[in-house]
Chain A
């Protein structure tokens, strides 16, 4: 048996690469607490001023609430539509299952910026630009692949006889689904929902084309702000995003094990 431990050279390289991978996030968090405009090493004092600035700024607050509302609506709708579709696809209730599945996954394969500009052109031609519902539907489009993939893999792991048993005992199709199948699918749906929520919250390349000058989401606002230079309040807004994502994931860990993704 070959020795199953990495050489010191490999260990050193791995540590350096892991540092490189995590450096920008660490730097953002440090910069958001730094008392100086420019982050220095060692930092010259700490402050919470930048957070106060962000959390009292109307623009940032509106961006944060738009982001959360958009991600919640898109995830909810995506879960309902995606679960229904996955159920029909899993049971091969229609013809052309593979073609439909490819179509559902297509927005994941297409460059996001292309979907963004295609939607911009389409929505402008229809005169619907700026409606919140358009943003929600666009986000459903890009989050649906995660929900469907997650729901399908949960359905595959399910014993079909459980639902059949409920049917034999007199439950109609929907009742059997609601009382038996749905609770069994819950871990998969929670996982898909979290992925969908984070994807929606993070999205810039599609969202940016559909916003009107009066609307913005948090990542789009950060993206637009850096055009005016590096500013510690952008770091504070970014740190809030990192914290938000971390909280969602920690809460989620109570329901699902993340090993299912990898």
Chain B
């Protein structure tokens, strides 16, 4: 029998790192977000909810929070809309095609997010490939605003998180027994009807897991919104970045960071509850 002391010996470095490097920083940020603060004197000694009231009550911050959540919803919907047909194609293809398609899904996942966002900048810029091509074809006279606004951020985030959606939907679809669909066809069900009443409902666990993952990743994203949204079109993560790096209003940044964290954690917790309802031994 192994002594517990050995176990603690093996775990101590990791536990020390997690306590000193993760729990302590988060706890301290939580405490400081509840302190008064002024640019001149730094942190005060009094407890206050002022930073949270400021963040949740200010129309500008509310706009950013609302915009971030809307962005999350749109990107999730776009990933489902594009991911489902692709996953269906992969599930129904021959093994060789399957492997090739999965490789093409994984390849972008392995490329750095900064690099992929930069690729979108090359494509979407006012003098980028898409505008140049459209102008050369005579379809538009002036460049379209594809970047530094909502459009650019949606396109970039959808491409960046789509692989996760596809990789979660493929196993969900593969878990549907072929007999069930075959039975429905035998009973003279039409193709769209089988799709809507059999395929989609049975893929629900995968759809929920994928959607929550994409939503949480989208609302937390910093790099892509910054690169494709530019310095002016802000979401929560880029606003937090600016509070800490440019405005140096740390308590407001910390309060906004905790609002984001709470939204993310509640969603993940909820998704785990829902997924546990559908499947056993779920791990994401």
Contacts and interface: CB of A to CB of B under 8 A. Distances in A.
Contacts of B116: 24-25, 28
Contact of B82 (A17, A94, A95, A115): A17
B121 A226 contact: yes
Contacts of A48: none
Contacts of B29: 117-118, 121-122
B274 interface: no
Contacts of A123: 25
Interface residues of A, number: 85
Given A21-B162, A113-B257, A141-B21, A88 B11 contact: yes
20 contacts: A4-B92, A18-B101, A21-B104, A21-B162, A39-B128, A40-B132, A88-B7, A91-B2, A93-B8, A94-B7, A104-B18, A111-B237, A114-B260, A121-B25, A121-B32, A202-B112, A202-B114, A223-B227, A241-B111, A242-B111
Contacts of B279: none
A205 B4 contact: no
Interface of B: 2, 4, 6-8, 10-11, 13-15, 17-18, 21-26, 28-29, 32, 82, 85-86, 88-90, 92-94, 101-102, 104-108, 110-123, 125, 127-129, 132-133, 159, 162-163, 167, 178, 181-182, 185, 216, 219-220, 222-223, 226-227, 231, 237, 240-241, 244-245, 250, 253-254, 257-258, 260-261, 264-265, 268
Contacts of B118: 24, 28, 222, 226, 230, 234-235, 238
Contacts, number: 266
A5 B240 contact: no
A103 interface: yes
B220 A112 contact: yes
A31 B257 contact: no
B17 A141 contact: yes
A138 interface: yes
A113 B101 CA distance: 32
A168 interface: no
Nearest to B243: A117
Given A144-B14, A204-B222, A226-B121, 12 more contacts: A21-B104, A38-B128, A40-B129, A41-B132, A88-B10, A93-B2, A93-B4, A112-B222, A117-B244, A121-B244, A223-B227, A258-B106
B17 A41 contact: no
B121 A110 contact: no
- Interface SS majority for chain A: helix
A77 to B, nearest CB: 9
A240 B7 CA distance: 43
A118 B94 contact: no
A18 B22 contact: no
Interface in A208-261: 208-209, 219, 222-223, 226-227, 230, 234-235, 238, 241-242, 245-246, 249, 258
A170 interface: no
A14 B97 CA distance: 11
A111 B220 contact: yes
Residue from A4, A25, A111, A120 with most neighbouring chain B CB atoms (10 Å): A111
A85 B11 CA distance: 5
Contacts of B181: 2
A169 interface: no
Contact of A11 (B89, B108, B121): B89
A117 B252 CA distance: 12
Nearest to B250: A121
A103 B16 CA distance: 12
Interface string A159-196: 00000000000000100000000000000000000000
B24 A84 contact: no
Contact of B15 (A38, A40, A100, A117): A100
Interface in A133-173: 137-138, 140-141, 144, 173
Nearest to B170: A262
A125 B264 CA distance: 27
Contacts of A91: 2, 7
A23 to B, nearest CB: 7
Contacts of B90: 14
B93 to A, nearest CB: 6
A138 B94 contact: no
Given A2-B181, A6-B88, A18-B86, A81 B122 contact: no
Interface string A1-41: 11011100011011001101111111110010000001111
A73 interface: no
